[in-house]
Structure 1
Amino acid sequence: MLMDMKTKLAQLQVFSGYAPTPFDTAVAPGTPQELFEQWLDQAIALQVMEPHVMTLSTVDRENMPDARAVVLLDVTTQGWHFAINMRSPKGQQLDHHPYAALTCYWPELAQQIRLRGPVVPLSAEASIADFSRRPERSRAAILAARQSEILESPRDLETAIQGQLYRLSAEPGLISPHWVLFALAPREVEFWQADSNRHFTRLRYRRDGDDQRWERNLLWP
């Protein structure tokens, strides 16, 4: 007899990861950037799979939520950096409503980090530099992109990429005008550590506007 979905899900383990370094909020650094780097360094050292992949959440013109994975490119005082094609749905959504959330969850460590705030485009020079550093086939795929349009055949995609590879060989400095590097400048950042007894630890950093002074608070689970 096949197991029903509810039973199947109920039998799965949850928040079973383990962080070897206790989350001592009393000694947390003054900025979320510093704590993020500490957690990221631990995740890399413990070989957490793709710890730099985060979920970017946006809303469209009808206020319908949307989400997808993006790669974190840098973390600075400006915010958490990622790059997107402005012709994609996420690009259009951010153009209409330049606020978003980023979430990363590392199941091996039972840790989650959430950010919310405005999203601002970085300089044109930064976007060009990000595009230019990418491998040739990646640049060709970006140039060929018609993200989220209907694809009639995988062959059409490969043909489009090959066409852009030919363009790049003829014009090595070719740049996509639609490729933009962004920074999410968070107003709130929350660090969450799970616990087998459900004594979850939540530390929130919050600031007003562009104020660089962060307020830190523990939150109820």
Structure 2
Amino acid sequence: MNQVIADIRKDYKLKSLLEQDVKANPFDQFSEWWNEAVDSHIEEVNAMTLATATPEGLPSARIVLLKGFTYEGFKFYTNYLSHKGRELEENPHAALVFFWKELERQIRIEGVVEKLSEEDSEEYFKTRPVASQIGAWASPQSIPIAGRHIIEENVLKYKAEFGTENIPKPPHWGGYIVKPVKIEFWQGRRSRLHDRIQYTKQKENWKIERIAP
């Protein structure tokens, strides 16, 4: 079995990424790649790996959904009392990874994490489907429970309490923004000789350099 796994490989050949072709600002470069990914109709194009760590450096990772980006950073929303929320409270540093296999591209982001304002979180919460709003109340995320019935009972409880309109945002739920200090754009190339262009924050500017594959 292990030999079969070791034989799995793909040679990348779709595109290249050269220094003269990238934007001066990594957010502009991200926006260009993002638009290409959206136009490629990639399923769950906004799915990204979020890696956090304890103060001692023990890492954990999971997939979350990007819900917005600006020149300041990348936004996502979650339960503040979840495993990732507790780690971010103690160690507000994180890494993000986008992998768009259809374009043979990967983007790695490292940065500092801050909570979004209550106003921002409230505004986004109102756009969520009612079932997702109820779910934010019903799930004690990352906490061990006796069975699926706990969640189902909580859903019924909060449906009865709130109805289907103007459901309030839970106080333990909201957004984060990852403010990058480093962003790497990876374009797959033949024979594992990939293109990797890295942006590193230096005060108000960004240093651009190629790093070896």
TM-score of the superposed pair, with normalisation by structure 1: 0.90
Once the two structures are TM-superposed, the CA of residue 199 in structure 1 deviates from its matched residue by 1.8
Partner of 2:84 in structure 1? 90
Question: 2:211 is matched by which residue type in structure 1?
Answer: L
1:107 aligns with 2:129: no
Asked if the contact 1:54/1:71 (under 8 Å) is kept, the reply is yes
Q: Aligned equivalents of 1:8 and 1:183: distance in 2? A: 41
Question: 2:172 is matched by which residue type in structure 1?
Answer: H
Partner of 1:117 in structure 2? 111
Question: 2:9 is matched by which residue type in structure 1?
Answer: Q
Gaps of 5+ in 1: none
Q: What secondary structure is seen at the aligned counterpart in 2 of 1:214?
A: strand
Q: What percent identity do the matched residue pairs reach?
A: 29
CA gap of 1:75–1:171, structure 2 versus 1, over 3 A, is: closer
Q: How does 1:72-221 map to 2 (within 5 A)?
A: 72-169=66-163, 172-208=166-202, 211-221=203-213
Q: Provide, for residues 72-99 of structure 1, a one-character-per-residue CA deviation record: whole Å limited to 9, x for no partner.
A: 0111011011111111010010000101
Asked if the contact 1:17/1:109 (under 8 Å) is kept, the reply is no
2:41 counterpart (42, 47, 51): 47
Once the two structures are TM-superposed, the CA of residue 170 in structure 1 deviates from its matched residue by 7.7
TM-score of the superposed pair, with normalisation by structure 2: 0.93
Once the two structures are TM-superposed, the CA of residue 66 in structure 1 deviates from its matched residue by 0.5
Q: Aligned equivalents of 1:171 and 1:23: distance in 2? A: 48
Asked if the contact 2:50/2:61 (under 8 Å) is kept, the reply is yes
Gaps of 5+ in 2: none
Aligned residue pairs total 213
Q: Provide, for residues 126-182 of structure 1, a one-character-per-residue CA deviation record: whole Å limited to 9, x for no partner.
A: 011111211111011111121122232222211111212222218724221111211
Question: 2:76 is matched by which residue type in structure 1?
Answer: F
CA gap of 1:163–1:126, structure 2 versus 1, over 3 A, is: same
Partner of 2:3 in structure 1? 7
Question: 1:199 is matched by which residue type in structure 2?
Answer: L
Q: Aligned equivalents of 2:20 and 2:73: distance in 1? A: 24
Q: CA RMSD in A?
A: 1.7
